[in-house]
Structure 1
Amino acid sequence: MMRIPFVTFKPMECELDNDIRAAFERTFERSYYIGGPEDEKFEQSFAEYCGTKECVGVGNGLDALMLSLKALGIGSGDEVIVPSNTYIATALAVTYVGAIPVFVEPFLETFNLNPYNTEKAITEKTKAIIPVHLYGQPCDMDPIMEIANKYKLVIVEDCAQAHGATYKGQKVGTFGKVGCFSFYPGKNLGALGDAGAIVTDDQEIADKVRALGNYGSDFKYHHIYKGNNSRLDEMQAAFLSAKLPHLDRMNENRRYIASRYLAEIKNEYIELPKVIDDVTPVWHVFGIRCNHRDMLEKYLNDNGIGTNKHYPIPMHLQECYKDLNYSEGDFSIAEEISSTELSIPMYYGMTDEEIGYVVHVINNFSL
């Protein structure tokens, strides 16, 4: 029996060991830890990579969303549409600026935001839509942008799991007013701690996010906003700069793994994710669905294959959102995904033998 973890960083870390250590030594010797040349270098490089004019580093992905909403003037009494099945950070960012998250059901086949359901949820209080490119699969952005333009709504893209993914040849994060990224260590582009960034073509928004993340200060001891402390530190910026040149190559490896899963997993009890036309996913997560998810999970774990569940309790049923007065059954698609989704191993450096073993074991699953 092989043992395959759900995720491991070892293949990547072995390849990039010298680069990572050099980044540490360079930053440590410089003794400059906040807002210095490493931060500036990474922001410029990541903006160029995404194809935007501006990038602002922040403390984490949640702050990227929250500070973007703040910078856009979204606050108390406003409504912001979010998918019903994303990670809770998407909704928390809306809550933290005083606005109300309005949950909208996704497509069951792709896990991503359904434009038809989105349009039905719009009210006179709606100010923004947050499409989440979940698991590294780009949303169908054309109809989402059409709806936003029709109702004069702001698009803030949640790209926390989609570094380098494209829709019709264009990088995610560049369709809306702002694109928000997390560099949590497990992401396709991960720091060695918490980190995040926003990208935008709007200089005013970039400047405001930078000030809001620096205690609301535009220059030292001068505070124009009631801000937060959320900055990308020099060490994490240096680590990210070491990894960024390798991102496309490592994403391509993930696509290879996914292509084998999609072509070779053949089991009547397993629903594979659907990939829409004209997108290039980056497969941060490869989530399958099974009506006997817990049985499948135990079976895979017993056969040495690591798994994870994204996300077993949908947001509207989380205790922290009981004030929104939702009940079981209110978002049936999100609930179905939460009860049937199982994520299988997906990480840079999986060998053909390991991929084949995962496929073989899944194909042999039966009731």
Structure 2
Amino acid sequence: MPPVRVLSLEHVAAVLKDIDIEDILTSQAQAFHAYSVNETQTPQRSTLETPYHKTLIMPSRIDTLTSTVKIVSVPKTDSKDGLPGVTIVLDNKTGEPRGLVNARLLTAVRTAAGSALATRVIFENKQEETKKALSLVVFGSGAQAKAHIQLLTHIMPGQISRIVICNRTLPRARDLVHELAPECSAKSIDISAFSITTGESTSSTTGTGSGSPHDKLKEIVQSAHIICTCTNTTEALFPGEWVQPGTHFNMVGSYTPAMHEIDQSLVARAWTLVDAKKECEHEAGEFILAKKLTGENGVLAELGEIFTEDGKFKREALPKEFSDRGNNQHKKKDVTIFKSVGIAAQDVAITALVLDKAEAMGLGSVVDF
């Protein structure tokens, strides 16, 4: 059997630091396309339950690329360091193990890449909004929140001027602000943390109202142009009525029928783009409930339907409703949502890309198996 390249967390971090973000986005767009045209194989995942975490075993294949098996554990409590996991990459011809890759960082990166692709195409179709100084509000302070901030500021250079990280407690959000402050400062972005529970903030200009934490959060949500929800909450994070017309959402936290990051009034106002229609119908709590209550959930397209096999955006394939937010014809639909529950093809693409890059950089431990 040929040697296997093993990539630790440190090896993966080194690759991500060196890799071109556009290469990540292109590989993810290709993965979404492959999924939407049925060029992937994703057997139903297996689940192991423990009192402390849920372990998921997820085999997948992109027919034009390779096959992988990912094993990831989802803690019952929030983890700021990402989900512990490993992905086995198989040789596409022989089926023998080719690589063993730490997946802790990659889960967050590939998820944020989907949000970045969706946000880019939606804002490209709202030309007047590309001229604004945009406010980004992120709920959650873990690895997903960090990756979303990094990728969204990459795809919207000079457009995002303010970021607010909202979390139940201030210390974790404050730690993330401190970690990202040098990057944001270099891009002239003001970044701050806000505690949903206490109303405390790291900035004198965030949540400046003299009222309760509830009132301050309302002010933050009302000022947002883009909102990313990266939490595992079972209750809506805020009332949908707070959200201004034209706001775009990236929702990546809920992945079971019991989880709800937004309320039904907001689902009813939204045109929605998803990573996978079938999976969202069974796993995205907000949209499962909407379908049950009203018979529809506003889902118009899968992300892969608007990209070509080489990862290029097909503008003509984007439903026109995503350009019509807030106009008279669709006055009841005035926000947009990208909802992701995660598809295994994303793991195939990101892991293969990182493994190839690591080989080119000479990184990793090569062992006989």
- Return the structure number with greater strand share: 2
TM-score range, shorter chain: under 0.3
What TM-score results when the alignment is normalised by the length of structure 1? Answer: 0.27
